[in-house]
């Protein structure tokens, strides 16, 4: 399996505020910078990206995007100044009733899944990372794939989570000294 990014994996993220780590003092057409985090502004052909902070297009092979790992699905994150737990927000997009009246939530994970459970209801909502889909388990224990998968994946893209990018082709936001999405 290749650890190279495809341009389509970046193009779908235009407008999401995707950030890249750039080597310190990288030469952007004569402009050397001390900054190391830049926001993507465009893609071109199959090999070039542009940044809001620098004029021109630059070879993709020189940069890696910064993405949140799926491990953060069950932990609080900050996005555009709002703090929330992603798996809980995704659940609220799937279940139209006010789950807080049914019971609180308990979040967790296992080898292949991240999930949240509505306490006292027996209902689970989760993401299977092996099969790459969201599911719900009802009170009777029946597993059902959630209908609005596209909406949920678009939210993951908006929040800059890894979707199908190969391991090694990106930098995990949680491993940086400062998460650029939470400043």
Give the C-alpha separation, 122 to 166, whole Å: 35
| Residue 103 resides in a domain | yes
Going by the DSSP 8-state scheme, the letter that residue 177 receives in this structure is S
* Number of domains forming the structure of the chain: 2
pLDDT for the residue 27: 61
Q: pLDDT higher for 67 or 50? A: 67
Same domain? 133 vs 169? no
Query: Is residue 79 in some structural domain?
Result: yes
- pLDDT for residue 101: 63
CA distance 175 to 126: 24
For residue 170, being part of any structural domain is answered with yes
Greater confidence, 125 or 40?
A: 125
**pLDDT tens for each residue of 141-167:** 888 899 889 999 999 999 999 998 888
Q: Is residue 130 part of a domain?
A: yes
Q: Under a CB-based contact definition with an 8 Å cutoff, are residues 61 and 167 in contact?
A: no
Pairing outcome for strands 171-172 and 64-67: parallel
> Which tokens is 18 given?
């995707």
1, pLDDT greater than 60: no
Q: What is the CATH number of the domain that holds 22?
A: 2.30.30
What per-residue confidence (pLDDT) applies to 82?
A: 94
Query: Containing domain of residue 90, as a range?
Result: 70-158
Same domain? For 97 and 136 the reply is yes
- pLDDT value of position 32: 59
Task: Provide the pLDDT for residue 129.
Answer: 83
Looking at the structure, do residues 63 and 79 belong to the same domain, yes or no? Answer: no
Q: pLDDT digits over 12-60, tens only?
A: 887 888 888 876 666 666 665 666 777 777 777 666 676 766 666 777 7
Q: Are residues 128 and 60 in the same domain?
A: no
Say what the pLDDT of residue 122 is: 77
Contacts of 104 (CB under 8 A, 6+ apart): 118, 119
Are residues 90 and 122 located together in one domain of the fold? yes
Residues 55 and 27 in one domain: yes
| Predicted confidence band of residue 117 (pLDDT cuts 50, 70, 90) | confident
Instruction: Name which of 138, 104, 144 is nearest 124 in CA terms.
Output: 138
Q: Is residue 74 located within the same domain as residue 56?
A: no
Structure confidence by residue, pLDDT tens digits, 73-104:
999 999 989 999 999 899 888 877 666 666 67
For residues 160 and 173, give the distance between their C-alpha atoms in angstroms, rounded to a whole number. 9
Measure the N-to-C terminal CA separation of the chain; round to a whole number of Å. 34
Q: Do 18 and 77 sit in the same domain of this protein?
A: no
Same domain, 64 and 25: yes
């Amino acid at each position: 399996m290749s650890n190279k990014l495809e341009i389509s994996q970046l193009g779908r993220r235009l407008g999401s505020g995707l950030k890249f780590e750039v080597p310190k003092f990288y030469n952007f057409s004569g402009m050397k910078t001390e900054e190391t985090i830049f926001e993507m502004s465009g893609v071109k052909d199959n090999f070039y990206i542009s940044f809001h902070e620098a004029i021109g297009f630059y070879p993709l092979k020189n940069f890696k995007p910064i993405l949140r790992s799926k491990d953060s699905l069950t932990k609080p994150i900050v996005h555009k100044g709002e703090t929330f737990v992603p798996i809980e927000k995704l659940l609220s997009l799937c279940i139209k009733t006010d789950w807080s009246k049914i019971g609180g939530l308990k979040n967790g994970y296992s080898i292949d899944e991240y999930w949240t459970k509505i306490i006292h209801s027996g209902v689970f909502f989760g993401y299977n990372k092996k099969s790459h889909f969201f599911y719900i388990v009802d009170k009777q224990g029946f597993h059902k794939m959630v209908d609005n998968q596209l909406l949920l994946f678009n939210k993951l893209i908006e929040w800059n989570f890894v979707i199908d990018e190969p391991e090694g082709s990106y930098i995990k936001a949680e491993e940086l000294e400062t998460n650029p999405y939470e400043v």
